[in-house]
Structure 1
Amino acid sequence: MTILTARQNAVPTLPDRPARLHRPLLWVAIALAALVPVTIGGALFDDRILLGHPIWMKPLKFAISLALYCGTLAWMLTLQKRARRLGWWMGTIVAIGVAAEMVLIIGQVVVRGRQLHFNVSTPADQLIHNIMASTIYLVWAAVLVIAIQLLFDKPGDRALRWSIRLALGTTLAGMLLGNLMFRVTPSQEREAAAAGQQLHLGSHGVGVEDGGPGLPITGWSTQGGDLRIGHFLGVHALQAIPLVALGLVLLARRFPALRPEGARTVLVTVAAASYAGLIWLVTWQAERGESIAHPGGATLIATGCWLGATISLSLLVLFRARRTTLVSTRIR
């Protein structure tokens, strides 16, 4: 009993520094990070506009987002214990797919000055659109294989393991949310009827046309729903949820109640469920044609319920963990 109690109350440590990150993913992440100042310079000195926004903003946003994604996945792959060769190949497929995606973005948007997503108005546009879509699905399939591997692997302590599993599951679902954007809008149906062929097939916005007023940098619509928000949050669950697990390890050095694996694992699960709830909330809001900048009454009520449930469950776990820690301290 005393040995078990001492083990439960031991101060958790951060994962050891990986000896070698996944090289292809690492190099792609570094290249994308180096591209960021280039795209910022482009946004400052190139005054071209596409769909109401500076032409370099899309490459800038994707460079930052994909650099984070590749860097995080490169770290996760170092935690694998089994089938590491398969994991290496899947990571390499992701790296190649992401690099190809970035080349297509710059080539279509900056070089050709053409809309990338939803644009099938010419044979060249349609080809680029189809290659982009195929590449994204290939990346998704490779990440799915990695997620299945880590579902049965045991990297780090239990809280970290579950944070990685839940992060990968959430990011896979978040990537699929992009499919909601590929629905032909009424204006695109009229456009196709007039032209005799489909020119565009999808939109970021709900209730508004793409290219209208939006939030700074992100461009998320301030006049209607925007499906990019849920997609963005879903993709970056890959960073958000493991950061909770790593943050709890740091807090455990100061707060003994967070030292047992069980308490931190439950808190990670609550955080992941809350994050999934947030993704659903912003997607539900967007589907109703409501801007993130102007939430209505139903959205505010749902947000209050989401916050209340998250805080209540977190406090319940912390109170129980604190009581368990006090009891184990007395026994010892």
Structure 2
Amino acid sequence: MGGLALVSAVGLAVDDRVLVGVPIWSKPFKFSVSLLAYALSLAWMLTLLPTGRRVAWWAGTVVAATGSAEMVLITLQVIRGKQSHFNQATPFDNAVFQIMGGTIVVLWLGALTIAILLLRARILDRTMAWAVRLSSLIALAGAALGFLMVRPTSEQLAQDDAPVVGAHAVGVPDGGPSLPLTGWAETGGDLRIPHFFGMHALQVLPLLVLVLAALAPRFARLADERVRLRLTLTASAAYTATFALLTWQALRGQALFAPDGATLAGAGAIVLLGGAATALSLRQASPSPTRPEEVV
């Protein structure tokens, strides 16, 4: 994925072709960078497993192989100048997309296997254990949003032989005005937003634990593992709620930066409740009562 990201970066610089409203090499570039972070995170998480490593090795290999196959097909379609996702214009294009769909299902099942192993594992650091478990579950939910994108839109259902079936955007056609860098729809909903946000919980929550541990020597309250655990659970809950809000916003065909009152109310509730929970989490945990036999 690192190598493909470099190749795609060169493609962005020297190939001026545009596909569905964005530079044609932007999709393999974004996908390879995202899969690079995802694979590195999973590989590190596998090292935390005290048991079940053989099953985990096979599951990780499945994730790596299917992810690589997906990228080969995406890059093939870029070279051909064709859309990879949702493309049913020709039998070949349809076959490519069907194979891509199959590889993603197998990849998701491999990631699910790893998540189950992490849920059952007795990881010594409780704070990291919960960060790893919860982030893997949120990432699975984020990845599963990809299955919603293959649903035909009302316009596609009205066509007898639609060349494209499925879409990233909701309420607006793919290829319209988009946000810079990401390519997300600017005037309507876009399921790629919660898809991206959910999948990268795999990096955000464990990184939060590492930051809290690094700050512990400077802040006495963070030196208490129970405080760090409460903060991690609070952050996980806020992340999950934000993921749900972004999904709801996208499904209603609402642009990310044009929220309505209901979306703003939901965001405000997350901020207020998250802030209150953080304040409570930072309270110094009471010391454990001293047992009689420990009294000198």
Give the TM-score category using the shorter length.
Answer: over 0.9
Contact 1:167–1:241 under 8 Å retained in 2: yes
Which structure has more relative contact order (CA 8 Å, sep 6+)? It is 1
* TM-score w.r.t. length of structure 2: 0.94
Kindly state the Cα deviation for residue 177 of structure 1 after the two structures are TM-superposed: 1.3
After TM superposition, list the pairs within 5 Å mapping 1:67-146 onto structure 2: 67-108=36-77, 110-146=78-114
Kindly state the Cα deviation for residue 258 of structure 1 after the two structures are TM-superposed: 1.7
After TM superposition, list the pairs within 5 Å mapping 1:11-90 onto structure 2: 32-90=1-59
**What's the C-alpha RMSD, in Å, of the aligned pairs?**
1.8
Deviations 1:287-332 (A, max 9, x none): 11111122222222211111111111011110244xx37x99xx9x
Distance 2:5 2:63 in 1: 20
Amino acid at match of 1:101: E
What stretches of structure 2 of length at least 5 have no aligned partner? Answer: none
The one of 112, 129, 135 equivalent to 1:167 is 135
Deviations 1:191-247 (A, max 9, x none): x33xxx343221111110000111111111111111110011111111111111111
Partner secondary structure for residue 262 of structure 2: helix
Please name the residue that 1:21 is paired with: none
Contact 1:225–1:287 under 8 Å retained in 2: yes
The one of 125, 134, 140 equivalent to 1:157 is 125
Amino acid at match of 1:76: M
Distance 1:319 1:261 in 2: 12
- 1:273 paired to 2:242: no
What stretches of structure 1 of length at least 5 have no aligned partner? Answer: 1-31
Kindly state the Cα deviation for residue 155 of structure 1 after the two structures are TM-superposed: 2.5
Contact 1:79–1:156 under 8 Å retained in 2: no
Distance 2:124 2:217 in 1: 17
Distance 1:150 1:301 in 2: 35
Contact 1:181–1:202 under 8 Å retained in 2: yes
Aligned pair count reads 291
* TM-score w.r.t. length of structure 1: 0.84
Deviations 1:102-161 (A, max 9, x none): 1011011x1111111111221111111111111111111111111111111123400000
Distance 1:156 1:175 in 2: 28
Distance 1:34 1:115 in 2: 22
Please name the residue that 1:10 is paired with: none
Partner secondary structure for residue 214 of structure 1: coil
The one of 172, 186, 190 equivalent to 1:208 is 172
Kindly state the Cα deviation for residue 55 of structure 1 after the two structures are TM-superposed: 0.2
The farther-off stretch of 254-263 and 242-251 is 254-263
Partner secondary structure for residue 319 of structure 1: coil
Deviations 1:27-46 (A, max 9, x none): xxxxx122223212211211
Kindly state the Cα deviation for residue 174 of structure 1 after the two structures are TM-superposed: 0.9
Over the matched positions of the two proteins, sequence identity in percent amounts to 46
The one of 236, 249, 253 equivalent to 2:200 is 236
Distance 2:121 2:200 in 1: 22
Distance 1:270 1:179 in 2: 29
Please name the residue that 1:19 is paired with: none
Distance 2:136 2:120 in 1: 13
